[in-house]
Chain A
Amino acid sequence: MDALVLDDVTKRFGERTAVDALSFTVKPGEIFGFLGGNGAGKTTSLRMVLDILRPTSGRIAVLGCPPGRENAADLGFMPEERGLYRGMSAIDTVIYFGRLKGMTTAAARAKGHDLLERFGLAGSAKMQIDKLSKGMAQKVQLAATLVNGPKLLLLDEPFSGLDPVNQGLLEDEILGAARGGATVIFSTHVMQHAERLCDRLLLLSQGRKVFEGTQPEARGRLPARLGIVSRDTPMRCPGVDRAEEVATDPDGWRTYDVTLGDGIDPADVLQCLTEQGITLRRFDQHRVSLHEVFLHLVGTNSADTQGQPS
């Protein structure tokens, strides 16, 4: 059974289409990145998965069931904009959300204490939220998300607003949850987190899917680039699209920024250069970042800040 299936899902707000014919599948145990700029449709998609919003058309299956609060016991959700009841204590907050997800008070209390201890908040469990620092409150929020041991963890921009320590903590929790068999879906527009965590990812732009696949597959969407230092131009090799000379030293060594054609393996270029007797002082293969892939696929003008949920 797939953890999540969206099949041709569209959501319109009046004249505006926030999500347009979106289809994808998330396998159990995957860490799935939901990438896109502001207004790409990430939050709207997650709200539809949670049944906070209903799709205009299309089908959604969450852990094999239609979206609804019946799934709450198996879901953990952390929204982009976070907050807690200021007058409640840390442990009561975790218990309250545990109970809203169908847990008994005793079970929620036991799990809540475990989580708070793991997050270094054991001594602050009975403190009111408004007496905690922002970082501590963020940990309480995370504990409230994880209290029910969710099978599917939905995190909307989970790293936004977190300090580096809590970012590290959250990354560990995501990896730990996945190791424990949970499926994690998180939206972000910070590609570094996705690079470190995601098994597969999906890129959204203005409500439409522009890519779905693994990280290597994403990088494969961009032509490979090489940094070469030699006396002769590498243009003689097949598969080299462009070789821009960027520097020359007095001994005649030239530095080239080389762009390969689609699907060309850098190893083939190295073999060709060797066979042709071109002496190399340097041969660097440039690793394409997800950020570059994102800019390549989505462009720089992906933001939609019309005020509707993104």
Chain B
Amino acid sequence: MIHNILLVAMREFRQITGMRSFWLTLLILPIALAIGPIATKLMGSDKVQRVMLIDPEGREAIAIRARLDSDRQRRILTALSRYAQRYDLDRADPAALWAQHDRLYDDAEVTAFVKAGGMPVALATMKRATTPETPAFDPPEPDFTIVPTPPAIAKADPAALDRLLKPLIQPGEFGDKKAKPLDYVVYIPRGFGTSTTAARLWSSEQPAANFVQPLQSVLTLRVRAAYLQSTGLSPDQARAATTLVPAIAISTPAPGGGRERMLVRSIVPLLSAYILLMSLLLSGNWILQGLVEERSNKLIETVLACISPDELLYGKLAGTVAVGLTMVLVWALCAAGAAFVTQGAVGTFLRMALAPLASPWIILVMLYFFLAGYLMVSMILLAIGAMSDSMRDAQSYLTPVLLVIAMPFTIVAQGILSNTGATALKVLTWIPLYTPFTMLARLGGGVSVWEIVGSALTLALFIAIEFVLLARVFRASLLNAGQKPNLAALARLMRRDPA
């Protein structure tokens, strides 16, 4: 029996892997994953935004420029801190600001960082602890660049600014089409803070919070200082009052810690659930194609003269499981290749993501649910194939079945990623059709042993019953060309074993 099962499995495997569509489909996922970040980067608004400041008195322009620069230095300091933590560089200067991790740096600390020499000095210090394998630091791109204000605009009548700025903000429509547009123009009127004249902001699109917020903050300080002076405080006192801020020590989880840690740990289990779903969706067609070909080409009778329907069924199941595992293996090799090529960030990320697999128990559990899921769905697909005379027939059964199987996956993925819907996830865990996907997805977040064992046993029982019932449908339908069973006939087929 085993000999015949293996022969059928090998033929099935060769047939599917011999198809060009198999390899095309197989490579779609890694290609999509590779293109994804590039596309996101291309589509993302990561360009440096151009800002022009018009300030006849010159005072606020300096303050705005300083604030934007301070924000950028804070981002650099945070990035340096993560870099030092990731590559174990703290020992170069344990007292340095960048060696203090998992916290938000306040303005005073940023100022101290800049005064101490900023990024160049920090990197030079870190160099004492780097190794040849340590990748170079990739500083965050600046968000804004301040462009010089043309004299004609600096000296222009405020009433004329709308007209003068249009060609600079929308050069495509009103000016030199090749000129780079300005993203923001800020006008600070003379006497701002003491008079009621409003400052103005021109923006090429909906203004972003990371610009409006610092701008508002600087101008608020100015208004408050002016108000305090008007109440009788000296300019120094007023300035001192506006710079008072509450001391809040903000702690954040380490990179890969807290919620982030849970998310990263969930990635491999969630990805394995997604891969199970994807490989089933993709191989579903091939499984059906093989069986429908045998039926429509009148091959079944020739095959059944040599082997039993059960041997044919199990051989096909083994072949399709082998196809699924091959797909997973190829995808895993692609991931390993990506990790090897990129080494740095992706490798570190993968190390964190693979952390849940450190336990052999978890690997076994994942393997069990993966294979069980594959067998459960493949069996349904084979029964569908046995009842179909053509791919068109098969598709009419296949589409609703795959929809029912795939639909809750979005709920599962969303629940895991947003840490919500725990009850829904628990319920789905106990519905055998969804158990493999839900359990695989949940493993990263930690699932109790009794839940794993209980759902595994329930799933095994369901698959055993499914095999008995659908194998009857398979055996009875193989030679019944041209007879599409309705639900009642299907139930009858499941009840009795055809002789």
**Which residues of A approach B to under 8 Å, CB–CB?**
47, 50-54, 56, 69, 72, 75, 77-79, 81-88, 96-97, 99-101, 141, 144, 307, 309
* Per-position binary interface string of chain B over residues 140-176, scored 1 when its CB falls under 8 Å from any chain A CB and 0 otherwise: 0000000000000000000000000000000000000
Asked whether B299 lies within 8 Å of A83 as measured between CB atoms, the reply is yes
Task: Tell me whether B250 is interfacial, beta carbon within 8 Å.
Answer: no
B15: which A residues are within 8 A, CB to CB? 85, 87-88
The reply to whether B302 and A54 form a contact with Cβ atoms under 8 Å apart is: no
Decide if A87 touches B297 in the complex (CB within 8 Å): no
Q: Check A69 against B308 for contact (C-beta < 8 Å).
A: yes
B479 at the interface (CB under 8 A from A): yes
* Shortest beta-carbon distance from A218 to chain B in Å: 29
**Which residues of B sit under 8 angstroms from A47, Cβ to Cβ?**
301, 479
A51-B308, A78-B302 given. 12 additional CB < 8 A pairs? Answer: A47-B479, A50-B305, A77-B301, A79-B302, A81-B298, A83-B302, A85-B299, A87-B15, A87-B18, A100-B303, A100-B306, A141-B302
**Quick check: A100 and B298 within 8 Å, CB to CB?**
no
Q: How far is the CB of B298 from chain A (nearest CB, A)?
A: 4
Q: Check A53–B499 contact: CB distance below 8 A.
A: yes
A-B CB proximity, top 10 nearest? A83-B297, A81-B298, A100-B306, A54-B499, A79-B301, A77-B305, A83-B298, A83-B299, A72-B306, A50-B305
A/B interface sample: 6 pairs, CB < 8 A: A52-B301, A52-B305, A56-B499, A78-B302, A83-B294, A144-B302
User: Which residues on B are within 8 Å of A, measured CB to CB?
Assistant: 4, 7, 11, 15, 18-19, 293-294, 296-299, 301-308, 311, 479, 482-483, 499
A85 to B306, CA, bound (A): 16
CA distance A101 to B302 in the complex (A): 11
Contacting pair A97 B306 (CB below 8 A): yes
A69-B306, A69-B308 in contact; A84/B479 too (CB < 8 A)?
no
- The answer to whether A75 and B305 have CB atoms under 8 Å apart is yes
- Which residues of the other chain, A, contact B303 by a CB distance below 8 angstroms? 100
A54 contact set on B, CB distance < 8 A: 499
Q: Which of A50, A69, A82, A88 has the most CB of B within 10 A?
A: A69
Are the CB atoms of B7 and A81 closer together than 8 Å?
A: no
Q: Which residues does chain A contribute within 8 Å of B7, judged by CB atoms?
A: 96, 99-100
Contacts of B482 in A (CB 8 A): 307
Q: Quick one: given A75-B305, A79-B301, are A100 and B4 in contact (CB under 8 Å)?
A: yes
Q: How far is the CB of B483 from chain A (nearest CB, A)?
A: 8
Closest-CB distance, A143 to chain B (whole angstroms)? 12
Name which residue of chain B comes closest to A51, CB basis.
Answer: B308
- In whole Å, how far is A15's beta carbon from the nearest beta carbon of chain B? 15
Give complex CA distance A88, B308 in Å: 22
With a CB–CB cut-off of 8 A, which chain B residues contact A81? 298, 301
B479, A52: Cβ atoms closer than 8 Å: yes
A50–B304 CB distance below 8 A:
yes
What B residues does A52 contact at CB under 8 A?
301, 304-305, 479
Chain B residues within an 8 Å CB radius of A88: 11, 15
A101–B304 alpha-carbon span in the complex (Å): 11
Residue of A nearest to B295 (CB): A83
- Return chain A residues, CB-CB under 8 Å to B4: 69, 100
Residue contact A101 to B297, C-beta cutoff 8 Å = no
Residue numbers in B under 8 Å from A85 (CB-CB): 11, 15, 293-294, 297, 299
A84 touches B301 (CB 8 A): no
A56 CB contacts on chain B under 8 angstroms: 499
CA distance A75 to B305 in the complex (A): 9
- Return A129 CB to nearest CB of chain B, in Å: 9
* Nearest CB in chain A to that of B4: its residue: A100
Q: A102's closest neighbor in chain B, by CB?
A: B3
B305: chain A residues within 8 A (beta carbon): 50, 52, 72, 75, 77, 79
Q: Are B302 and A96 touching (Cβ within 8 A)?
A: no
In the assembled complex, which residues on chain B have CB atoms less than 8 Å from the CB atom of A69? 4, 306-308, 311
Q: State the CA gap A228–B308 with chains docked (Å).
A: 60
Asked, given contacts A53-B499, A69-B308, whether A77 binds B302 with beta carbons under 8 Å apart, the answer is yes
Q: Is there contact, CB below 8 Å, between A82 and B298?
A: yes
Contacts of B499 in A (CB 8 A): 53-54, 56
- Which chain B residue has the least Cβ–Cβ distance from A56? B499
Contacts of A99 in B (CB 8 A): 7
Return B350 CB to nearest CB of chain A, in Å: 38
Specify which chain A residues have a CB less than 8 angstroms from the CB of B307 in the assembled complex.
69, 72, 100
How many angstroms between the C-alpha atoms of A169 and B298 in the bound complex? 22
